[in-house]
A and B are shown apart, each in its own frame.
Chain A
Amino acid sequence: MNAKHVELPDDLVLRVRNLGKEYKLYPSPRARFKALLTGVATHRSHWALRDVSFELRRGQCIGVIGDNGAGKSSLLKLLAGTLQPSCGQIERVGRVTAILELGAGFHPDFSGRDNLYFGGSLIGISPERMRELEPEIAAFAELGEALERPVKTYSSGMAVRLAFALVTAVQPDVLIIDEALAVGDQHFQKKCIERIMAFRNSGCTILFCSHSPYHIRHLCDAALWLRGGHVAQFGATEPVLAAYDAHTRERQEREQRALCGEMLPAEGEPAESAPAADEVPPAPVAAVDSGTACILSVDVKDLAEPVGDQPGLLQSQDLVVTITARGRGNERPHIGFMIEQSKGVGITSLATHEDGAAPRQLPDGSWQTVLTFPELPLHSGDYVISAFLFDETGLAVYDEWFQFLHLRFIFPKPLPGLVRLPHHWS
Chain B
Amino acid sequence: MYSLFGECHALWQARSLLWVMTRREVAARHAGTAAGVLWPYLQPLLTVAAYYLVFDVVFSMRLGDNAPTHAVGAFLVVGALPWMAFCDATARGMNSLVEAGGILQKNPLPPVLFPMRAVLASSVIFGPLLLLVALAYLPQHGLTWSLVALIPLLLGQLLLCALLAYALAILTAALRDVGQLVTFFLSVGIYLSPILFPLALFPERWRWVLWANPMTALVLGYQNVLLQGLWPQMAVWAALGLWILVLAVLLNGLVRRSRDQLVDWL
A binds B: yes
Contact status B261-A107, CB under 8 Å:
no
**Known contacts A23-B264, A118-B20: does B31 contact A109 (CB below 8 Å)?**
yes
Q: How far, in whole Å, are A23 and B262 apart by their CA atoms in the complex?
A: 11
Minimum CB–CB distance from B232 to chain A (whole Å) comes to: 33
Q: How far, in whole Å, are A81 and B260 apart by their CA atoms in the complex?
A: 11
Q: B105 interface residue, CB < 8 Å from A?
A: yes
Q: B265 interface residue, CB < 8 Å from A?
A: yes
Q: Report the stretch among B81-89, B90-98, B167-175, B233-241 that lies at the interface.
A: B167-175
* Number of B residues with CB within 8 Å of any CB on chain A: 37
Q: How far, in whole Å, are A77 and B263 apart by their CA atoms in the complex?
A: 11
Nearest A-chain residue to B23, judged by Cβ: A118
Contact status A83-B17, CB under 8 Å:
no
Chain B residues near A23 (CB, 8 Å)? 261, 264
What is the 8 Å Cβ interface bit string for chain A, positions 7-47, against chain B (1 contact, 0 not)?
00000000000000011100001101101100100000000
Number of A-B contacts (CB under 8 A): 84
**Known contacts A107-B31, A109-B32, A121-B20: does B106 contact A101 (CB below 8 Å)?**
yes
Contact status B260-A105, CB under 8 Å:
no
Contact status B257-A36, CB under 8 Å:
yes
Contact status A123-B107, CB under 8 Å:
yes
Chain A residues near B28 (CB, 8 Å)? 107, 109-110
Nearest A-chain residue to B10, judged by Cβ: A1
Contact status A104-B175, CB under 8 Å:
no
Q: How far, in whole Å, are A80 and B16 apart by their CA atoms in the complex?
A: 21
Nearest B-chain residue to A43, judged by Cβ: B261
What is the 8 Å Cβ interface bit string for chain B, positions 23-63, against chain A (1 contact, 0 not)?
01001100110000000000000000000000000000000
**Known contacts A30-B175, A36-B170, A36-B171: does B257 contact A82 (CB below 8 Å)?**
no
Q: B176 interface residue, CB < 8 Å from A?
A: yes
Contact status B261-A35, CB under 8 Å:
no
Chain A residues near B109 (CB, 8 Å)? 122
Q: B254 interface residue, CB < 8 Å from A?
A: yes
Chain B residues near A82 (CB, 8 Å)? 104-108, 263
Minimum CB–CB distance from B224 to chain A (whole Å) comes to: 36
Q: A100 interface residue, CB < 8 Å from B?
A: yes
Q: B141 interface residue, CB < 8 Å from A?
A: no
Q: A336 interface residue, CB < 8 Å from B?
A: no
Q: B253 interface residue, CB < 8 Å from A?
A: yes
Nearest A-chain residue to B265, judged by Cβ: A32
Chain A residues near B102 (CB, 8 Å)? 104-105
Contact status B253-A105, CB under 8 Å:
no
Minimum CB–CB distance from A124 to chain B (whole Å) comes to: 8
Q: A86 interface residue, CB < 8 Å from B?
A: yes
Chain A residues near B177 (CB, 8 Å)? 29
Which residues of A are in contact with B by a Cβ distance under 8 Å?
1, 3, 22-24, 29-30, 32-33, 35-36, 39, 77, 80-86, 96, 98, 100-101, 104-105, 107, 109-110, 118, 121-123, 126-127
Q: List 22 contacting pairs A-B, 8 Å CB cutoff, sorted by A.
A: A29-B177, A30-B175, A33-B171, A33-B175, A36-B170, A39-B253, A81-B108, A82-B106, A83-B263, A84-B259, A84-B261, A84-B262, A100-B105, A101-B106, A104-B106, A105-B103, A105-B106, A105-B107, A110-B31, A121-B20, A122-B17, A122-B103
